[in-house]
Structure 1
Amino acid sequence: MNGSRRNWYDDEAGPMVRLYAMTRGRAQPQRGFLDIIALVIANTLPEQDITLTPEQAGILDLSRNRPISVAEIAARSDLPLSVVRILLNDLLDAGHLRIDRPTPPRELPSEAVLREVINGLRAL
């Protein structure tokens, strides 16, 4: 079997790490669910913690200069969204970043309230 065994990747692909190794076997974040439109902002620089994995350092680098959404981090890091959510929760637990979550729709003002505000402004 050794002679007939083929690799599905080539030498140019570089080292391959299984996704479950990046998340230490976890399939879901231990904290709450992160919405894909939540904004991530780095509190620390990747160079400040030598224990970070390359993926975690990459996430901090992406979110260092400006807030970036969870979905955009997944797209730019070329990692599955589920893995990004787990890594983000790990970074959040370690104090490396903060997350600004969107306001839930049930907490937004109703259409009637907004219309009253508009009518009140027009009356001024």
Structure 2
Amino acid sequence: MMAVGEPGPDEATGRARGTSEPAGRAPAIRPFLLTAGRVAGGGAGPPVPVESQVVATSSGLSALHSLAFEQHDIVAACRRPQSVAELAARLWLHLNVVRVLAEDLCSAGHLAVHVPNARTTQDISVLRRVIDGLRAVPDSRDSLRDSG
């Protein structure tokens, strides 16, 4: 007979009752535990902007086996360049956690961070070209969107 509160045989193995499939993901870890309570990386510079492109370096890929959990996942996911925001969404991690860990991995030489040129991101002509390009895309009825 089992004591009250003692996990049953299925609960102890993490399996749903009557199936051989795992019951689900383990409870999420609090973001401040992943960053040791830090809200900025180990570097002295400003935080990495969310639109920055991150990519794994060759030393990061060779050190993959020695990295722990989220750091491993970040470097592995960065085999191809992507923004910090995309990375956070893909890994289901809090955006600031990814920023802090990316800064740490960059300081260790495992990631390269490419911050976009501030003048380009504030250039109104770039925004105008994007809007014009979106208007030129046909909608579901194969007609162009209005230009106003």
TM-score higher than 0.5 here? yes
Bigger relative contact order, structure 1 or 2, given CA contacts below 8 A and separation 6+? Answer: 1
Consecutive unaligned residues in structure 1, runs of 5 or more = 4-10, 112-124
Runs ≥4 residues deviating over 4 A: 106-111
Q: Once the two structures are superposed, what CA deviation does each residue of 1:43-102 show, in whole Å capped at 9, x if it has no partner? A: 0345625442211111111111x2111110010010111111000011011100111110
* AA of the residue aligned to 1:67: P
1:37 matched residue in structure 2: 51
Cα distance change on mapping 1:13 and 1:38 into 2, 3 Å: same
With the length of structure 2 as denominator, give the TM-score of the two structures. 0.58
RMSD: 2.9
2:101 matched residue in structure 1: 87
| SS of residue in 2 equivalent to 1:13 | coil
**Count of residue pairs brought into register by the alignment:** 103
Which has more radius of gyration?
2
CA contact (8 A) 1:46 1:57 kept: no
1:55 matched residue in structure 2: 70
1:99 matched to 2:113? The reply is yes
Cα distance change on mapping 1:97 and 1:108 into 2, 3 Å: same
TM-superposed CA distance for 1:36, in Å, is 1.3
Consecutive unaligned residues in structure 2, runs of 5 or more = 6-22, 126-148
